[in-house]
Structure 1
Amino acid sequence: MTVILDRPYTFVPPHRGNLWPTAIQKLRLIDRHLRKREAVIDYELRHADRFAESLAAGHGILLAPNHCRYADPIVLGWLSREVGTHLFAMASWHLFNTNSFEAFALRRMGAFSVNREGNDRQAIETAIDTLVSAERPLVLFPEGTTNRTNDLLKPLLEGVSFIARTAAKKRAKANGGKVVMHPIGLKYLCIGDAWEWADEKLRELELALSWQPRQTGTDPQSILKRLFRVSEAYLALKEIEHVGQASSGDLRPRRDALIQFLLARSEGRYGLASPRDACVRERVRKVRTAVAAAYFAPDPETGKPVTRDPAEYLDDSSAVDLAQFLLSFPDKYLTPGEITDTRIVETIQRIQEAIYGEAKETMPMSVVIEVDHAIEVPTERGPRGEPDPLLCHLDARLRTMIDALSKEARDFERRDPVVPSR
């Protein structure tokens, strides 16, 4: 749930002291958290010296990683430890509303909130000021959200280049300093036996669907057939829940039809246009904004708050969340000849999130954290009406890294041997 309906959005500023983040690093608390909660038990840093050089030069630094797992912000703590700095990071407001401990920990580690459903000027200004002052490097995930597709990059948000360029202009005017952007490639690799793990987790999903688990063992082709079967069952259940009946045929057009149905229904309730060719993520954002605005709208005559039944608003918010979630199953992620152990694990974990409400982080992982060369941020955008050159440059750099890193995973269909952790 992204839209929080128990209270209106309020900005959560970052904690600026160094005592807490220093203690967290010295006590290796991020290592314990990643091992226990995310099953990320090892890491490899590549070209951290590039980041260190920008720090030594005194630049305002923006770190721009791909975003494929919930562990991403925490694993960057290993990079910051290596170069001897702390970080600030922009994080969705709903993450500060899970429980009091996580909200406390997020702030102490340098996170501040952003309202993804609206124009959050405080968050933008905080990000810009951080880069201008160069107090600490700033982490912004240019994809905005995560969806467990480590080998694919979602469209980048223009807000990242706007923040970087505005800060570069202010910093140049203030002291002649520079703002640089480091693309960061994150790649998670399975350490354990993904075939045995997949067999076990598919058995659990089959039982959750009231099926008799298939006794097929760890044969790759049998696992793939079971995975597609479970995926189809989940889609059929959602079709019945929202449309009234399951359809037939290939999964992709069925998925797209359900996404369109969910979005159009919610858009109709709030008087929004329903353009089929518009970006799904943008349509989702507009509905979420409309939900929050309608729910918290004051009485038009008195201007006083109004108590409303949240049920209908939660239904619309949940519907567009489901539309965005369905889009997280890429069309060609499991193309024969390109299937890796990490892609199988990611797909199963997406289904676990759908059925259980959260993924079971029990597959031991290591993460490669690769730092690209610094991109000096220009102060001007470029010709009006043309693609943003800074965003295009970042997109190309990230795609090149992600494509190269994707080849380091093991081939699932050939059942490449398990590589032990160091």
Structure 2
Amino acid sequence: MPTTTPSSATDLFTHALQHDNRANPYPYFARMRQQPVTRMDDGTWLVSGHHEITQLLRDPRISADRLNSNTQKGAPKSLLVLDPPRHDQLRRLVTQEFIPRITGMRDHIHDLVTHLLDAHTSQQPGQLDVVTDLAYPLPVTVICELLGVPRQDEPVFGSLARRLTRGLDPIGTQTAEELHELQQARIELIQYLEGLIEKRRTNPGDDLLSGLMFSQNPAGQMGPIDLRITLGLLLIAGHETTVNLIANGTLALLRNPDALTRLRTDPDLATPLVEEVLRYDPPVQMSGRSALADIDIAGTTIPKGARIRLMLAAGNRDAHRFPDPDRFIPDRPDNAHLGFGGGLHYCIGATLARTEAQIALTALARRLASPRLVTDPPPYRENAVLRGPEHLLVSFDRLTPDPRTA
């Protein structure tokens, strides 16, 4: 932390978002929790306590539209910022097409992880970048297969995803050039998605996009604009957060060798361990909301119309909810983390993300002999909301065969 210690909520939030502090924003989150609900200078309310965040995530007086954009009522919006009843209708359509398609995918995900790691079998000793060699290509491949998006289009939507996810960060943290790129990326994404939809219109398949387009659900089909927005959300959110989850999990394992050793010998540990990664170093650090009415909470009142910033990563280390919160405990009991949000907007892809992370982290633990970080801390992405390493170089003595085929 800097020699000048920030004191106000605005100062703490500003410092936590600075890229120089991206590797470890948690000391600032700890300071925030001293006043779990507080107002920043711009009128935004900062909520950092686990109890208070959980309460607001379930409060019907909270809108997912963090901008409280009354001037845009009726304009098409993503599931992320929709409220009931429209949110519930669209979510139901997506869930009914999405969940059956991810059932039974574990073996296929195992095969994908094996293929990605086997590319390094000739290196003894060797080195891999966990982000570019595993954490990114794995969820990208899976979501492309699910949606029916050509895998070879990754350079196109990958570039768009990087620019668009930067737009999730507070506007004050973005340069004029980044804001311009954001607008351009939105235009390019619309054009790309409309091209995909048009191809499916004349050549439907058994993928998720075709299912959403030609659903026989009695609740109705999606209109063309909702379809385009939902497709874009699933394509980008379907891989961006999982990249961070796998990378953050690898970092936690290498910094906690006892946990790495346990996972190597006990693959069943992967289930609670991934939950602990989601608590300890979540891929989504914060979420925006707005108040639809005056809300009394933690001895203060958030007024109607106010913007709210839910600091999920801060709540995940709240000592009032988690004993020894700054310690990584792979089999932590009663782990009611906020890694996938909560309430109506609980992450649709949570089951898939968990599966991908469990398999990837277990494979790394079992197959990399004597893994160690090349650089600690690693370089981090510019993004503050979707926080994770840009690269994660790991050296190892050898890559052992897949235990399933050895």
Same fold (TM over 0.5): no
TM-score (norm 2): 0.28
TM-score (norm 1): 0.27
